[in-house]
Structure 1
Amino acid sequence: MALGVSLLAGTTALVAPSLASAEMVFNRGNGAEPGSLDPQISEGVPSAHILRDVFEGLTAENTDGSIIPGQAESWTISDDGTQFTFKIRDDAVWSNGNPVTAHDFVFAWQRAVDPKTGSEYSFLLYPLKNAQAIAGGEEKDLTQLGVKAADDKTLEVQLEGPAPYFLGMITHSVAYPVHKATVEAHGEAWTRPENMVSNGAFKVTEWTPQSRIVAVKSDTYWNKDTVKLDKVVYHPTESPTSELKRYRAGELDWTYEVPNDQIKWIKENLADEFSVSNYLGVYYYGFNMTKPPFNDPKLRKAFSMAIDREILTSKIVTAGEVPAYAFVVPGVTGYDPVYADFKAGDQNARNAAALKLYEEAGYSKDSPIEIELRYNTNDNHKKIAIAIASMWKKTFGAKVNLVNEEWKVYLETRKQKQVTQAFRAGWIGDYNDPNTFLELWLSDSGLNDTGFDNPEFDSLLKQAGLEQDATKRKELLMQAEAIFLEANAVAPIYHYVTKRMVKPYVKGWQSNVMDHIRSQYISIEN
């Protein structure tokens, strides 16, 4: 149930819904078309928003992002922090009526680290005993993974070392259970609405590509009595400008984002419906280190230094984003910021130093480099790419060809590392800990699209994963980030804020640093 909006002379006005409509429907803008709704295979924020509604892990999150019991009603942790025992709810039930058991989690987690599955997020489960060895093909026996079903409702988890972020980490979709019989019966087609069996507050009933995904309230969810919505409709919209138009026309109750060039108008005309909050993420450009020209460290550093982050955040993205000179977001729990060595000084000095590095790499304004800058289709990404290409042209005389690709194609292109040179990317923390930013760059990470490969970095992260002393662990992670920043595999550009439009009748939600807004808490109120 959504209020209509009439447009008159550039203003919006709420129109009362039909009293005959009994359903409470939430129309949610959701960014790009999801590549997959398979919890162990999916990538990207658009998929994650849907999966958090349709599935539930052992732990879940409250409206403020704090960790609460999910499919597990309780758990115990050993004194050394390496053993977890979860008690699964007796009333945890799949959408087909089958009970959710500990065996479902064992199957899903084994599936996630099995190289045959091809999960790009298997590295998130590396804290589990033998997970990294299995994912890397060193250990062939999946039963050696540190997860066992003591009985149908008791799950025992063994970690390689203490992981203070573990309970938050397993709210990620890669750790959701999946229904074994359904996966085995339907193969890749198991996530089609007519086949899918899920265990969350909602269940998918329709998926019309590039149009909408519909999920209805599940009558088997253990906490269904607290769920007020009857239906959630997720609308894929790659253009923020088009999304804002749909919002103003009353087609959407909630947007995925807003067009950067409309923020001034929004603040002047729809300030009460504009929501901005801190976000645990970093917007960056990656460089393909495996091929020329960006296998040259001097060139990578030059191109990073020549990005005027202050201009971008004050003129192009203007909702309060912070210029980034670190990859780990400053303010992450239990961590001190580590910055690139060129953070100090003004942009003119950076440009001069960048030009010198550029010339040392064999280029000049008379003999400029020509490169491709790749981004996924989106008006905001395009505007940023145009601005940065202009900065590179001004500083170096570089010829920058912009290439945009649809989301799924873009992800695959990055992964292959064959034609990418410089590319747009972003990383949103999966839990509030520096490890969620640094583990992305492990040499065997499925999402390491730059080709960064540093044995010392890998070793430091492994040591940090075994370290029980919080101060020593922090120091190891800071050393690792320093190594990564020195390599200039990426150019951090800014730290995100979430910015979206929300109708005033959308209730029950609150912003949180993870931007994990679960539809099960939302209601539509007149």
Structure 2
Amino acid sequence: MTRLFLTTALVMGLAVPAFAAKPAEGEKLADKQEMNYWILDALKSLDPHKNTDREGSDALRQLFEGLMNEDINGAMVPGVAESYEVSDDKLVYTFHLRDAKWSNGDPVTAGDFVYGWRRIADPATASEYAWFMELMNVENAPAVVKGEKKPEELGIKAIDDKTLEVRLTAPTPYLLKTLAHPSTFPAPQKVIEAEGDNWTEAGKLVGNGAYKLDQHDLGVQAVLSKNDNYWDAANTILTTVRFVTVNDQNIGLTRLLAGELDWMDRTPAGQFPRLQQEYPDQAVSVPDACSYAYLFNLSDKGPEALKDLRVRQALSYAVDRDIIVDKVLQGGQKPAYWWTHWATEGFQAPDIEMSKWTQAERVEKAKALLAEAGYGPDKPLKLSIQYNTSDDHKKLAVAVQQFWKQIGVQVELANYEWKVHTDRLQNQDFEVARYAWCADYNEPSTFVDYFRTDGYNNGKFSNADYDKLLNDAKTAADPAPIYKAAEELLIKEMALVPVYHYAKPMMVKADLRGWPKANVMNDWYAKDMYRVAE
């Protein structure tokens, strides 16, 4: 066994950890240490094992803490684990936990992680992220998720209250990167069993993060306050964090400029150049490990036309990505011709032929493919595009509607609130749908695994060769070329219409410090932030 102390940074490339907010020399703290953070949609769930969206993950990182955290640059640093050991065959990880408490004062134990991991894998929980345990290669995860084995057979156990053992089926170089994801967080068993589905309500939720939940008005705001029982509370400076829901980005920007919000991590499409000029100390754009696409419903419930590869290719070719990023968004985004975000660590860009064509060539080929598939003026292809409520999503859907009109496709737009939109996606109640995937950890598998036959995969793309590539990557000494091949196959089969790779054109109040400018994951921890006196 090789023992690795997280507190000494490691020869494995982990940076020296920054445990909490630390003002720079000469900075004077503001008297009021509060932050109001904008979110577009209501927090759908504050259960770490049932949440599926980015906003929920942002909130959960404040309320709970896993074995690992990320620092301001995205490097893995200690969370509840202080050190760990790895067996020589890289199949057994033994984590040693620090003295930590839940917000009600109870100790955080290895058993709390065992309960949490079993809970997410248990079919009775109906977690949409149960597959994450499989992605981590946790022993027996596939069988537990399918109900073929009991949750107690999952490859995790408490050696004692401070020692946690995780067993894998294959060496998993990215394992540590997964351990800051909410799916791997511990869970307070006695609270969940006492409160049932209501355990995440304000006043009932018990977490082990730096903050606790004081108030949650669904679709309005969630108010978090400093958790004095957090192990590093003495170094936590922000006392209050509010997640404020504003469904209209333009109104959100207005409220930020009026002083009601402090951080808006997605400015309205097309406005960033102006904001950079007018507010140079607040407007900033950083790479963000998310990719935007339109999904095809390839399930039995999807339209027959989309089963034809030529149709899918035509629809993808016709989308003018340069217009979208340069004329509509204008926030530092990049055109996408593949799925994985270009800034993901270890990513090798695939060889995608259509990326080398001019847009005029793409449109010409798209028209020919549709005609070959039997569509034309006498038999126009008709489709609906579904998107969730947002002025930006609407602008993009309208743009795509026009791009497809140019090749003879008639498009109807369907707008739904976020919860309805995601429910329809999960039930395959759509034809074409706006979607985005944000990396769960900084490694290409988090993207390509989405389209695995039994992955999250709302469009139900299925390809045996693709699945084999992903399985091969799990045990490869260097999986990067395999991920590259998977991307090329994904686009060869046109499982989706990749549109753009995210950047985050943000507005951040100049006195707010400690937010992650250099972390492509853009995962943030309020415990690392503070406000300076102006």
TM-score, normalising length: structure 1: 0.92
The equivalent residue for 2:21 is none
**Do the aligned partners of 1:160 and 1:465 also contact (CA within 8 Å) in 2?**
no
The answer to whether the Cα contact below 8 Å between 1:331 and 1:337 also exists between their aligned partners in 2 is no
Does the residue aligned with 2:112 lie in a helix, a strand or coil?
helix
Cross-structure match for 1:466: 475
Is it true that 1:500 corresponds to 2:530 in the alignment? no
* Aligned match of 1:413: 424
Partner SS for 1:200: coil
1:316 counterpart = 2:328: yes
User: 1:309-361 CA deviation, whole Å, 9 max, x = no partner?
Assistant: 11111101111111111111234323311143311211111111111111122
Q: Deviations over 1:49-103 (max 9, x none)?
A: 10111110000111111100101111112233221110011x2100011110111
| Among 351, 363, 380, the residue aligned to 2:375 | 363
The percent of aligned pairs where both chains have the same amino acid is 35
Q: Counterpart of 1:85 in structure 2: which amino acid?
A: T
- Do 1:258 and 1:500's aligned partners in 2 also have CA atoms closer than 8 Å? yes
Q: Which residue of 1 aligns with 2:496?
A: 490
* Closer/same/farther in 2, CA of residues 427 and 481 from structure 1, 3 Å limit: same
Q: How far apart are residue 525 of structure 1 and its match?
A: 1.6
TM-score (norm 2): 0.91
- Residue 162 of structure 1 deviates from its aligned partner by 1.2
8 Å contact from structure 1 (residues 160, 466) kept in 2: no
Please say if 1:150 is aligned against 2:159.
yes
**For residue 403 of structure 1, what is the aligned residue in structure 2?**
414
Q: Secondary structure at the match of 1:310?
A: helix
> Distance in 2 between the 1:31 and 1:223 partners?
30
> Is the aligned partner of 1:296 residue 2:304?
no
In the TM superposition, residue 23 of structure 1 has moved relative to its aligned partner by 4.5
**Aligned residue identity for 2:124:** K
Match in the other structure for 1:18:
none
Q: Does 1:354 align with 2:362?
A: no
Q: What residue is the counterpart of 2:102 in the other structure?
A: 94
Displacement of 1:442 in angstroms is: 1.5
CA distance in structure 1 between the partners assigned to 2:270 and 2:480 by the alignment:
39
- SS of match in other structure, 1:33: coil
Amino acid at match of 2:495: A
Which residue matches 1:515? 522
Asked if 1:181 corresponds to 2:193, the answer is: no
Q: Does 1:435 align with 2:445?
A: yes
Q: For 1:409 and 1:259, how far apart are their aligned partners in 2?
A: 23
Q: Secondary structure at the match of 1:258?
A: coil
Is the 1:339–1:485 contact (alpha carbons within 8 Å) kept by the matching residues of 2? no
Distance 1:298 1:286 in 2: 16
> Following TM superposition, by how much is the alpha carbon of 1:22 offset from its aligned partner in structure 2, in angstroms?
5.8
Give the partner amino acid of 1:315. K
CA contact (8 A) 2:332 2:504 kept: no
Q: Name the SS for the 1:112 alignment partner.
A: helix
Q: Give the direction of change, closer, same or farther, for the CA distance of 1:143–1:123 in structure 2 (3 Å limit).
A: same
Unaligned runs of 5+ in 2: 1-29
CA contact (8 A) 2:516 2:523 kept: no
1:35 Cα deviation (Å)? 0.7
Describe the SS at the equivalent of 1:388.
helix
Given that 1:329 and 1:337 are in contact with CA atoms closer than 8 Å, whether structure 2 keeps it comes out as: no
1:243 aligns with 2:247: no
CA distance in 1: counterparts of 2:345 and 2:223, whole angstroms = 36
Give the alignment partner of residue 425 of structure 1, picking from 423, 435, 440.
435
Return the offset for 1:146: 0.9
**How many angstroms does 1:426 deviate by?**
0.7
| Structure 2: distance between partners of 1:204 and 1:23 | 19
Q: 1:325 pairs with 323, 334, 337, which one?
A: 337
Provide closer, same or farther for how the CA distance between residues 510 and 478 of structure 1 changes in structure 2, counting only shifts above 3 A. closer
The equivalent of 1:48 in structure 2 is 57
Q: Is the 8 A contact 1:23 1:231 kept in 2?
A: no
Residues of 2 paired with 1:310 and 1:79: CA distance?
49
Aligned: 1:343 with 2:343: no
Aligned to 2:360, the other structure's residue is in SS state helix
Closer, same or farther: CA 78–327 of 1 in aligned 2, 3 Å:
same
Aligned positions, number? 498
Partner deviation per Cα, 1:217-236 (whole Å, 9 max, x = no partner): 00110011111011101101
Partner AA of 2:438 in structure 1: I
Report the 3-state secondary structure (helix = DSSP H, G, I; strand = E; otherwise coil) of the residue aligned with 1:411: helix
Q: Does 1:58 align with 2:67?
A: yes
Matched, 1:76 2:88: no
Deviation at 1:259, TM superposition (A): 0.5
- Counterpart check, 1:131 vs 2:141: yes
SS of the residue corresponding to residue 414 of structure 1 reads helix
